[in-house]
Amino acid sequence: MTQTPLVEQSRHDDILVLTIQNPPVNAFSPGVPEGLKAGLSAAAADEGIAAVVIIGGGRTFVAGADIKTFGLPREQAPDLRGTVQQLDAFPKPTVAALHGTALGGGLELALACAYRVAVPGARLGLPEVKLGVLPGAGGTGRLPRVVGVQKALDMMLSGTPIPATEARELGLVDELIEGDLLEGAVAFARRVAGQRPIPRVSERSVQGATPELFAAAREAIQKSHRGQLSPALIVDLVELAATRPFEEGWQAEAQKFMEARESPQSRGLRHIFFAERESAKIPGLGKDTPLLNIRAVGVIGAGTMGGGIAMNFLNAGLPVTIVETSQEALDRGLSVLRRNYESSAKKGRLTLDEVERRMALLTPTLEMTDLGGADLIIEAVFEDMAVKKALFTRLDGLARDSAILATNTSTLDVNEIAAVTSRPEQVIGLHFFSPANVMKLLEIVRAEKTSDTVLATCMALARRIGKVGVVVGVCDGFVGNRMVHRYGEEARRLVEEGASPEAVDAAMNALGLPMGPFQMTDMAGLDIGYAIRVHRAQQRGEPEPDGWLDRIVKTGRKGQKTGGGIYDYDDTRRPRPNADMQALIEAYRAEKGVTPRTVSADEITRRLTGTLINEGARILDEGIAQRAGDIDVIYVYGYGFPAYRGGPMHSAGEQGLQRVVEDLKQYGHTPAPLLERLAREGKTFADFDRERARG
């Protein structure tokens, strides 16, 4: 029988098994459809074959279409739809045998088979929405025919896979196989081989469709997927599936899939998908770098940051010793932590038993010496170099020799901190983002002497606690805060020139950021940014900062925590303009002789993203970030930059770098040399990443 290298054919008496061998995730790459079609044709022609089993080799069934081929012209894309059609019309029973993940095109392939069997640990889903596309190989038509409209919409709009056990209850899986999957699937195929008619999902009717349900789904996605294209297309297609013949939906789906695939939103989301995976790779750090075993963690400081950091490890089942300087601060920290868990339990995300299990892993103490058993100690104390140095000197004396000493500083020089210890190779920055138990980003700050083992251990640990770890170099603010600092400056300038804080925030909200710069400032606390500006001015020998925002801080309004800052807040924490603050801004402009002008939303977004891109280019050039993609990952996971715009550096490519350069010049900024060079050469930051990877 003809075989392609990606699909193996093997005969088990009267059953033909087609094994997809395309590691690591058996994506539907070129060669897979050819192999499957050849196998199916062979099975159809061979009278000795009664049924076909399709299974994935290695760790998983098919994890979907090959996303790398999404940039190819339509004619060159692997023919998943053709394969699905061949399966749907196949004259003999077909059985999809699922393990690992059956995702996207993988599940669509399985849905086109007559039967599906799975190991209990398998997961099934249609995650296309996360890539800005929609199920494009019959998923929008077939899934509602099996699990009903509501469940199908839930699965497609969330993109979250369901366990095989649930899929069995829903009828999406016909049988769970407890033992060897291949053996079980072949036995199942033999049992159903003679059954006629062959069940075909496309011939079923759709249950549970009402106009109200679709109206509710459309309303819900306005909130959950604000500004995104593909969720609305998914709802339209499921409605079509529910109200029109299967064939009509199938044709419309092909067209809408291509529309979504070609969209800038899908390009942005695909970029982030690959950039996130790329960011886990550190040039020069071999896969065989030995790792330290982290069995117990110490956290210094039980404030908002320390408590949030501790929760990450407790959630992952790691014991944490948390240290404070006073009983009162310790008690307060612990009660906040408990309240956080209890509120998760109220929302049904945790059981009360689990709350207790996690709390039991926590040891509160006032004694620093109790950290002697920890393999990793993270400090989250006041942002002051003298305080940190004294602390690290002390830690060096009491921590076990192999322990990693980490600082959660967001601005200070990690090299300087490391230098006070006798083990600078064990010192690293672990910069969590607030709220630390929620935000997915972890900037892993590699200091000059940080060892490969410590770095690799921290990267692995990030994964273990569900964070996206991105390696950055030492500089003031590292990547994220250094860029946000410039962004904040530009936002304040916009207000000075005439824009209202509300207009600035609204423009960024419209771009897809959940918070604009001033909403963010009010949440973080105005005093935090002010302290940094004072510190910088002192360092540079400049006069005390006295911008309009500094003046607001001096009125005592520090943001949400004092009930108001730039804005007022009601119980729902919705910002409302405050007349006194508006008057303060107007008086400031008058004092500076500024005649306020109208600033358009377009100018606001261009200037703010432009400053991010410009600082990002400098960071990249200096090697503080390894790749532009890393910067994008930082901005998406740490600052809420919409993933469907692919992060600031990717968005620069979408706009054209030349335009970014022109904008910067128009508004009085000097473009970074790297940005200017790439713009001149007609390149993007992705080109730069490729250049750097080639060395």
CB-wise, 253 or 663, nearer to ligand 3H9? Answer: 253
State the minimum distance, in angstroms, from the CB of residue 148 to ligand 3H9: 20
For position 277 contacting ligand 3H9 by CB under 6 A, the verdict is: yes
DSSP one-letter string for 296-358: -EEEE--SHHHHHHHHHHHHTT--EEEE-SSHHHHHHHHHHHHHHHHHHHHTTSS-HHHHHHH
- As given in the structure block, the two tokens for residue 604 are 């606001």
Q: Which of residues 21-60 bind ligand 3H9 (CB under 6 A)?
A: 24-25, 27
CB-wise, 103 or 619, nearer to ligand 3H9? Answer: 103
CB-wise, 139 or 638, nearer to ligand 3H9? Answer: 139
Per CB under 6 A, the segment of 19-27, 334-342, 636-644, 656-664 that binds ligand 3H9 is 19-27
Q: Residue 113 class from Cβ within 10 Å (0-12 exposed, 13-18 middle, 19+ buried)? A: buried
Catalytic residue among 75, 108, 278, 367: 108
For position 137 contacting ligand 3H9 by CB under 6 A, the verdict is: yes
Query: How do the residues of the chain divide into helix, strand and coil, expressed in percent and rounded to 5?
Result: 55, 10, 35
For position 67 contacting ligand 3H9 by CB under 6 A, the verdict is: yes
Q: Are 640 and 515 in contact (CB under 8 A)?
A: yes
State the minimum distance, in angstroms, from the CB of residue 122 to ligand 3H9: 12
- As given in the structure block, the two tokens for residue 121 are 């640990």
The only residue of 32, 42, 54, 131 in contact with ligand 3H9, by rule CB under 6 A: 131
CB-wise, 22 or 451, nearer to ligand 3H9? Answer: 22
State the minimum distance, in angstroms, from the CB of residue 65 to ligand 3H9: 3
State the minimum distance, in angstroms, from the CB of residue 167 to ligand 3H9: 16
Distances in Å between the alpha carbon of 77 and those of 262, 292, 328? 13, 44, 63
**What is the torsional sign of CA 473, 475, 478, 479?**
negative
Q: Are 479 and 463 in contact (CB under 8 A)?
A: no
Catalytic residue among 8, 34, 47, 128: 128
Angstrom distance (rounded) from CA 66 to CA 33 = 11
State the minimum distance, in angstroms, from the CB of residue 477 to ligand 3H9: 29
CB-wise, 129 or 608, nearer to ligand 3H9? Answer: 129
Q: Which of residues 74-93 bind ligand 3H9 (CB under 6 A)?
A: 80-81
Angstrom distance (rounded) from CA 100 to CA 24 = 11
The only residue of 15, 22, 42, 128 in contact with ligand 3H9, by rule CB under 6 A: 128
Which residues, at least 6 apart from 447, have a Cβ–Cβ distance to it below 8 Å?
A: 414, 415, 417, 418, 424, 427, 428, 429, 474
Q: Which residues pair with 8 in a beta bridge?
A: 19
Angstrom distance (rounded) from CA 20 to CA 31 = 10
Angstrom distance (rounded) from CA 292 to CA 319 = 16
For position 66 contacting ligand 3H9 by CB under 6 A, the verdict is: yes
Segment holding 96, helix H or strand E: strand 94-98
CB-wise, 23 or 245, nearer to ligand 3H9? Answer: 23
CB-wise, 125 or 429, nearer to ligand 3H9? Answer: 125
CB-wise, 66 or 676, nearer to ligand 3H9? Answer: 66
Q: Are 78 and 27 in contact (CB under 8 A)?
A: no
CB-wise, 269 or 395, nearer to ligand 3H9? Answer: 269
Beta strands in 560-686 (DSSP E): 567-569, 575-577
Site for ligand 3H9 (CB under 6 A): how many residues? 27
The only residue of 35, 56, 93, 136 in contact with ligand 3H9, by rule CB under 6 A: 136
Active site residue 128: yes
CB-wise, 247 or 331, nearer to ligand 3H9? Answer: 247
Q: Are 609 and 635 in contact (CB under 8 A)?
A: no
The residue whose two tokens read 């309303």 is: 219
The residue whose two tokens read 């769970």 is: 176
Per CB under 6 A, the segment of 100-108, 189-197, 374-382, 560-568 that binds ligand 3H9 is 100-108
For position 629 contacting ligand 3H9 by CB under 6 A, the verdict is: no
State the minimum distance, in angstroms, from the CB of residue 133 to ligand 3H9: 6
State the minimum distance, in angstroms, from the CB of residue 106 to ligand 3H9: 7
Per CB under 6 A, the segment of 61-69, 211-219, 519-527, 553-561 that binds ligand 3H9 is 61-69
Of the candidates 508, 380, 506, which has an alpha carbon nearest to the alpha carbon of residue 437? 380
Of the candidates 645, 617, 610, which has an alpha carbon nearest to the alpha carbon of residue 631? 617
Per CB under 6 A, the segment of 134-142, 482-490, 524-532, 537-545 that binds ligand 3H9 is 134-142
The only residue of 17, 42, 52, 65 in contact with ligand 3H9, by rule CB under 6 A: 65
The only residue of 33, 35, 56, 127 in contact with ligand 3H9, by rule CB under 6 A: 127
Active site residue 108: yes
State the minimum distance, in angstroms, from the CB of residue 132 to ligand 3H9: 10
Helices (H) and strands (E) in the chain, counts: 29, 19
Neighbours of 448 (CB within 10 A): 13
Residues 105-124 vs ligand 3H9: string with x where CB under 6 A?
x--x----------------
For position 630 contacting ligand 3H9 by CB under 6 A, the verdict is: no
Which residues, at least 6 apart from 287, have a Cβ–Cβ distance to it below 8 Å?
A: none
Sheet-wide strand order for 101-103: 101-103, 123-125, 162-163
State the minimum distance, in angstroms, from the CB of residue 131 to ligand 3H9: 5
Phi, psi of 491 (to 5 degrees): -65, -40
Beta strands in 547-661 (DSSP E): 567-569, 575-577
For position 543 contacting ligand 3H9 by CB under 6 A, the verdict is: no
State the minimum distance, in angstroms, from the CB of residue 466 to ligand 3H9: 12
Per CB under 6 A, the segment of 98-106, 146-154, 561-569, 663-671 that binds ligand 3H9 is 98-106
Angstrom distance (rounded) from CA 163 to CA 379 = 38
State the minimum distance, in angstroms, from the CB of residue 163 to ligand 3H9: 14
CB-wise, 103 or 679, nearer to ligand 3H9? Answer: 103
CB-wise, 237 or 395, nearer to ligand 3H9? Answer: 237
The only residue of 43, 63, 391, 553 in contact with ligand 3H9, by rule CB under 6 A: 63
State the minimum distance, in angstroms, from the CB of residue 627 to ligand 3H9: 13
- As given in the structure block, the two tokens for residue 190 are 């033999």
Catalytic residue list: 108, 128
Which residues of the shown chain bind ligand 3H9 in the complex (CB under 6 A)?
Answer: 24-25, 27, 63-68, 80-81, 101, 103-105, 108, 127-128, 131, 133, 135-137, 139, 257, 274, 277
